[in-house]
């Protein structure tokens, strides 16, 4: 066999001759092609000769897996598939792997959107959040709607016949005890809607859009602005913790441990969409359920915050009659929310129905849950509620209900269990959910992310925060790195160069999370406003108080009504349209509704996430409780709270524990005097040494106690560092 | 009275200034005298400035000057008494220190702090309406973290401690007044 190098030499000499002989162009090209082919064949034959059996076997395996990938790609049911990018990517190996797009994170899942202007590829998680079926979009230049089909008769959208979904379900989810298959969307189809930036033609009765996709038979078509929100369920797949941290003083009383999960598998399922309009200053919302639900699986990075919720706290706090009644109200509200779609009733009727139920169960009068349960199961409950609902709907917007549907809903509602067990279980969930909102916000602040960059899932006592993009975006990892551990601080540690960065890291998580867990000024100023004889100590709370006070003259009847009801009854008062109070004037009733929706209970504005909430913006307030959160904080810190007027062995305390909270109750409106007394008391501990640690003043806040409404209490935090 | 060493001087420093912010927030007379012949702008560990409140905003503090700026923003009067460093050639200080000191004085001037110089100054003190910190420590990175130092803290509380506080305050005011304006 001729030597490879010798052959190459011969070919090179031929090439030189051809150049010299000035061959015509066609012949020259033929030679160059032949030259390259031959050269390639020779080098390949050389490589094969050098390969051993194992390498040949490995190459064979690799070619089999490549064939498998190509076969799988061939099975993908796409209308206008382009395999080129995917094909090129499987033929390359790191570090030569090209990103699928320069502007997308590596490993991003994508799906196709079939528009009149061509196929557009969109990141899957973005599509589920903004381009879900039934939504309207302006992102392709002209208004487009993602098709949803005719859903208005049964409030269910058949997605399998409207869009291209994966052939097999990607996972199963459990919804109210029923297992449902979830499919991955592959191609979403769109349609040009009737309307644009000045509103869309929509049926005000069922909220179906007037287009060829979901047209209804009602006659009440108007051009209005339409709001759409997806209803998303997030669950956890297989996830592995790779490290964990114990937090420092105060936080360690609330969070047992923080774990970093990598990979973290999040299953994002879109169960349906909420569509809303505003008609005559009132909001109307319809709930569309997807059949089947669609979803994706994200492989990302996550954090797990294990929250300490002692059983004795739940059993103690739910003994409070006001909280019991409010939690029962939340339970009923959540149950109705679920029943509305099943009974084919638009979601906007929720408030009216709730208002009628509050009236028929007398929940604005009684706080005893046994009485509420007994009234709910009575045979005349349905009729009494129907009467109240009729009064309510006639008074306001004269909405016509299908009587059979309402009756069916109320009969189903009668099966709801309003027991202490159900309330305790709801209380635990509501508390965990409220804390999860605070943790998500604190993580966003710490990592400098937007709400869209992070997401959350509740998993028993663990709140999971994760990057909301496949492959992760670094936000949760950054929040984890900035979490301060219980590492001891002292100057000797600090000045060691290898430790210094630990102590210079921002404490944004601790500060923002704890401050969100403290009593909020809105809450305090509203309580104080309703207890007319109390002034306010701090300038910001005074400003909020004055803001409410500005409304005093115009809102006088509503304010009187609220003061008569008392703070403990504000939550039921804030739900519904309140014709039951018979103001005889719709404007007055509206003013009452507006004023009662203030931050006393169930209106935790600082924790509200809107459409980012896992339960959707409409029912969010039925899964949050600021009062529960405040009581939880007080309970968790109770062993550390000491009134400065009581006898207490502070030295003994500091020798055993790492922080202490001094309090003082203000007996009159001279708050500055009491605050000064507290500060003077705290001053005595400045720089004091306990063991090898020193006392540091680390916090000052105030609260208004619900149990003693005319009282302001100041708290000063001392930490041993 | 509390004995102060290099281990707790920065803790007491930060605490004194944060408490003065609270007082200023209440609309009461709040002030601070920072007396030190040498001053540099040093970093403060976040652990020392972490503060939880539902009505006060104590945040974004990285350097000591940030803490002083926060005081100024809350309406507290800031008095600075230091050595005049006008010509590096007359000192044995290195250029880095010399520049840092001048830059810091410029930062304090921009905060409308009232600055005075005294070429004989050797005393070191931080005096607020709530307490006084006196000792061997300069208001520099070395004085706060690296050197072995000693001193005392007197709070404006009651009895002998209050008397001591008052004496130190009067002393601080008098040497400040006796010093020259820039």
Token pair 């509380």 is found at B157
Whats the size of chain A, residue-wise? 721
CB contact (8 A) between residue A699 and residue B18: no
Query: Which uninterrupted H or E stretch holds B165?
Result: helix B159-177
Q: What is the mean pLDDT of residues A304-328?
A: 92
Residue A552's CB: how many other CB atoms inside 10 A? 11
Confidence of residue A259 (pLDDT cuts 50, 70, 90): very high
pLDDT-above-90 percentage for chain A: 29
Q: Is residue A239 within 8 Å of residue A265, measured between CB atoms? A: yes
Higher pLDDT, A496 or A460: A460
Residues of A within 8 A of B47 (CB-CB) are 484, 489, 503, 507, 721
Residue A559 has pLDDT above 60, yes or no: yes
Residues of A within 8 A of B24 (CB-CB) are none
Closest CA to B68 of B29, B28, B105, B116: B105
3-state secondary structure of A202: strand
Q: Is residue A595 within 8 Å of residue A559, measured between CB atoms? A: yes
Return mean pLDDT, chain A.
82
Q: Which pLDDT tens digit goes with each residue over A661-706? A: 999 998 877 888 899 999 999 988 988 998 888 999 999 998 887 6
Strands (DSSP E) contained in A9-50 are none
Q: Which residue of A has its CA nearest to B146?
A: A495
Long-range residue pairs from B18-21, CB within 8 A, at least 24 positions apart, any chain: B18/A697, B18/B49, B18/B51, B18/B58, B18/B67, B19/A679, B19/A683, B19/A697, B19/B128, B19/B130, B20/B71, B20/B74, B20/B76, B20/B128, B20/B129, B20/B130, B21/B56, B21/B58, B21/B70, B21/B71, B21/B74, B21/B76
- Judge whether B110 is closer than 8 Å to chain A, CB to CB: no
The conformation of residue B142, written as its DSSP 8-state character, comes to I
Q: What is the mean pLDDT of residues A333-338?
A: 88
Distance in angstroms (rounded) separating the CA atoms of residues A658 and A692:
12
* Omega within 30 of 0 (cis) for the link into A632: no
- Alpha-carbon separation of residue B161 from A627, B8, B152, B165 (angstroms): 43, 19, 11, 6
Distance in angstroms (rounded) separating the CA atoms of residues A715 and A151:
55
- Judge whether B60 is closer than 8 Å to chain A, CB to CB: no
Residue A632 has pLDDT above 90, yes or no: yes
Residues of A within 8 A of B51 (CB-CB) are 511, 698-700
Test mutation, A700, A717, A719, chain B, max B CBs within 10 A? A700
Q: Which pLDDT tens digit goes with each residue over A33-51? A: 777 777 777 777 766 666 6
Q: In angstroms, how far is the first alpha carbon of chain B from the final one?
A: 35
Lowest-pLDDT range of A44-53, A313-322, A356-365, A366-375: A44-53
Q: Is residue A672 within 8 Å of residue A655, measured between CB atoms? A: no
Q: Which residues of chain B have pLDDT under 50?
A: none
Q: What is the ipTM of this complex?
A: 0.93
Residue A34's CB: how many other CB atoms inside 10 A? 11
Q: What is the DSSP string of A455-520?
A: EEEEETTEEEEEESSTT--SHHHHHHHTS-BSPPP-HHHHHSTTTHHHHHS--HHHHHHHHHHSPP
Strands (DSSP E) contained in B8-149 are 31-35, 52-53, 77-82, 114-117, 124-128, 131-135
Q: What is the mean pLDDT of residues A16-39?
A: 67
Q: Is residue A468 within 8 Å of residue A125, measured between CB atoms? A: yes
Contacts of B66 (CB under 8 A, 6+ apart): B44, B60
Residue A178 has pLDDT above 70, yes or no: yes
- Judge whether A648 is closer than 8 Å to chain B, CB to CB: no
Output the pLDDT for position B53.
92
Residues of B within 8 A of A698 (CB-CB) are 50-52
Output the pLDDT for position A154.
83
Distance in angstroms (rounded) separating the CA atoms of residues A373 and A363:
11
3-state secondary structure of A38: helix
- Judge whether B136 is closer than 8 Å to chain A, CB to CB: no
Query: Which uninterrupted H or E stretch holds A699?
Result: strand A693-704
Q: Which pLDDT tens digit goes with each residue over A373-432? A: 899 999 899 999 988 888 777 655 556 677 888 888 999 999 888 889 999 999 999 999
CB contact (8 A) between residue B45 and residue A684: no
Output the pLDDT for position A78.
46
Closest Cβ opposite residue B59 in set A511, A521, A687 = A511
Structure tokens at B160: 């002998």
Q: Which pLDDT tens digit goes with each residue over A100-125? A: 555 555 566 788 898 887 888 888 88
Closest Cβ opposite residue B157 in set A492, A680, A701 = A680
Closest CA to A15 of A32, A33, A37, A39: A32
Confidence of residue A367 (pLDDT cuts 50, 70, 90): confident
Residue A81 has pLDDT above 50, yes or no: no
Q: In angstroms, how far is the first alpha carbon of chain A from the final one?
A: 82
Distance in angstroms (rounded) separating the CA atoms of residues A451 and B97:
44
Lowest-pLDDT range of A95-99, A132-136, A374-378, A521-525: A95-99
Confidence of residue A523 (pLDDT cuts 50, 70, 90): confident
Half-sphere exposure of A1 (CA within 13 A, CB side): 7
Confidence of residue A80 (pLDDT cuts 50, 70, 90): very low
Closest Cβ opposite residue B54 in set A495, A675, A702 = A702
Q: Is residue A265 within 8 Å of residue A298, measured between CB atoms? A: yes
pLDDT-above-70 percentage for chain A: 82
Confidence of residue A605 (pLDDT cuts 50, 70, 90): low
- Judge whether B34 is closer than 8 Å to chain A, CB to CB: no
Residues of A within 8 A of B15 (CB-CB) are 686-687, 696-697
Nearest chain A CA: its distance from B147 CA (Å): 11
- Judge whether B19 is closer than 8 Å to chain A, CB to CB: yes
CB contact (8 A) between residue A495 and residue B146: yes
Closest Cβ opposite residue B2 in set A484, A507, A688 = A688
Distance in angstroms (rounded) separating the CA atoms of residues A357 and A362:
8
Number of A–B residue contacts, CB under 8 Å: 111
Q: How far is CA A672 from the centre of its chain?
A: 40
Output the pLDDT for position A101.
53
Residue A31 has pLDDT above 90, yes or no: no
Output the pLDDT for position A585.
72
Q: Which residue of B has its CA nearest to A676?
A: B23
Higher pLDDT, A154 or A100: A154
Confidence of residue A483 (pLDDT cuts 50, 70, 90): confident
């Amino acid at each position: 066999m001729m030597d490879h190098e010798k052959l190459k030499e011969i070919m090179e000499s031929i090439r030189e001759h051809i150049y010299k002989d000035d061959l015509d162009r066609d012949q020259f090209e033929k030679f160059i092609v032949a030259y390259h082919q031959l050269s390639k064949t020779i080098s390949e034959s050389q490589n094969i000769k050098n390969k051993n059996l194992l390498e040949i076997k490995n190459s064979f395996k690799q070619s089999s897996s490549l064939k498998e990938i190509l076969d799988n790609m061939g099975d993908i049911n796409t209308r206008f598939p382009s395999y080129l990018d995917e094909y090129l990517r499987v033929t390359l190996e790191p570090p030569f792997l090209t990103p699928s797009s320069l502007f997308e994170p590596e490993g991003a899942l994508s799906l196709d959107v079939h528009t009149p202007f061509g196929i557009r590829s969109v990141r899957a998680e973005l599509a589920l959040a903004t381009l879900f079926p039934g939504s309207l979009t302006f992102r392709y230049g002209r208004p487009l709607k993602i098709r949803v089909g005719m859903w208005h008769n049964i409030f269910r959208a058949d997605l399998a016949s409207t869009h291209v979904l994966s052939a097999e379900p990607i996972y199963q989810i459990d919804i109210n005890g029923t297992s449902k298959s979830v499919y991955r969307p592959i191609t979403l189809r769109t349609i040009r809607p009737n309307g644009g930036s000045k509103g869309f033609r929509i049926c005000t009765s069922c909220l179906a859009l007037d287009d060829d996709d979901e047209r209804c038979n009602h006659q009440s078509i108007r051009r209005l602005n339409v709001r759409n929100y997806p209803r998303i369920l997030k669950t956890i797949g297989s996830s592995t913790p790779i490290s964990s941290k114990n937090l420092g003083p105060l936080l360690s009383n609330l969070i047992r441990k923080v774990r970093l999960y990598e990979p973290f598998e999040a299953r994002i399922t879109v169960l349906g969409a909420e569509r809303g309009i505003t008609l005559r200053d009132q909001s109307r919302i319809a709930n569309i359920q997807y059949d089947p639900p669609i979803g994706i699986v994200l492989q990302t990075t996550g954090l797990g915050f294990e929250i300490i919720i002692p059983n004795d706290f739940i059993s103690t706090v739910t003994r409070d009659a006001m909280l019991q009644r409010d939690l029962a109200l939340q339970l009923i509200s959540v149950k109705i929310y679920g029943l509305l779609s099943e009974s084919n009733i638009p979601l906007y009727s929720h408030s009216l129905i709730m208002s009628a139920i509050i009236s028929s169960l007398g929940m604005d009068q009684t706080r005893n849950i046994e009485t509420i349960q007994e009234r709910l199961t009575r045979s005349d409950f349905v009729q009494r509620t129907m009467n109240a609902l009729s009064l309510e709907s006639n008074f306001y917007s004269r909405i016509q209900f299908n009587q059979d549907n309402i009756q069916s809903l109320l009969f189903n509602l009668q099966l709801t269990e309003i027991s202490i067990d159900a309330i305790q279980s709801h209380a635990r969930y509501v508390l965990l959910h409220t804390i999860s909102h605070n943790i998500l916000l604190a993580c966003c602040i710490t990592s400098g992310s937007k709400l869209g960059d992070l997401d959350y899932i509740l998993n028993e006592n663990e709140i999971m925060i994760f990057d909301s993009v496949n492959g992760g975006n670094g936000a949760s990892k950054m929040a984890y790195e900035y979490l301060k551990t219980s590492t001891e601080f002292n100057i000797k540690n600090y000045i060691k160069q290898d430790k210094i960065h630990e102590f210079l890291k921002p404490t944004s998580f601790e500060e923002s999370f704890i401050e969100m867990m403290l009593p909020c000024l809105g809450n305090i100023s509203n309580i104080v406003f309703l207890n007319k004889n109390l002034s306010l100590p701090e300038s910001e709370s005074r400003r909020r108080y004055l803001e409410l006070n500005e409304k005093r003259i115009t809102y006088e009847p509503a304010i009187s009504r609220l003061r008569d009801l008392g703070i403990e009854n504000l939550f039921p008062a804030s739900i519904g349209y309140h014709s039951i109070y018979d103001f005889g004037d719709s404007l007055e009733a509206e003013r009452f509704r507006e004023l009662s929706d203030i931050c006393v209970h169930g209106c935790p504005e600082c924790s509200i996430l809107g459409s980012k909430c896992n339960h959707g913006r409409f029912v969010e307030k039925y899964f949050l409780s600021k009062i529960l959160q405040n009581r939880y904080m007080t309970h968790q810190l109770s062993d550390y709270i000491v009134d400065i007027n009581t006898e207490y062995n502070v030295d003994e305390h500091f020798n055993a524990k790492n922080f202490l909270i001094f309090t003082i109750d203000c007996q009159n409106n001279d708050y500055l005097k009491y605050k000064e007394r507290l500060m003077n008391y705290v001053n005595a501990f400045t720089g004091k040494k306990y063991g090898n640690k020193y006392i540091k003043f680390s916090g000052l806040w105030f609260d208004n106690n619900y149990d003693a409404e005319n009282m302001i209490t100041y708290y000063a935090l001392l930490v041993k560092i | 009275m509390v004995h102060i060493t290099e281990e707790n001087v920065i803790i007491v420093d930060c605490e004194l200034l944060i408490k003065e912010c609270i007082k200023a927030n209440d609309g009461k007379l709040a002030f601070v005298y920072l007396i030190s012949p040498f001053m540099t702008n040093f970093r403060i560990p976040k652990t020392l400035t972490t503060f939880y409140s539902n009505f006060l905003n104590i945040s974004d503090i990285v350097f000591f000057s940030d803490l002083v700026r926060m005081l100024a923003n809350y309406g507290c009067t800031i008095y600075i008494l230091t050595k005049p460093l006008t010509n590096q050639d007359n000192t044995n200080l290195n250029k880095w220190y010399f520049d840092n000191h001048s830059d810091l004085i410029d930062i304090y001037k921009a905060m409308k702090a009232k600055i005075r110089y005294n070429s004989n100054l050797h005393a070191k003190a931080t005096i607020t309406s709530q307490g006084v910190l006196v000792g061997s420590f300069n208001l520099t990175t070395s004085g706060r973290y690296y050197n072995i130092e000693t001193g005392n803290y007197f709070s404006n509380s009651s009895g002998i401690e209050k008397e001591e506080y008052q004496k130190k305050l009067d002393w601080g005011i008098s040497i400040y007044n006796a010093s020259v304006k820039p």
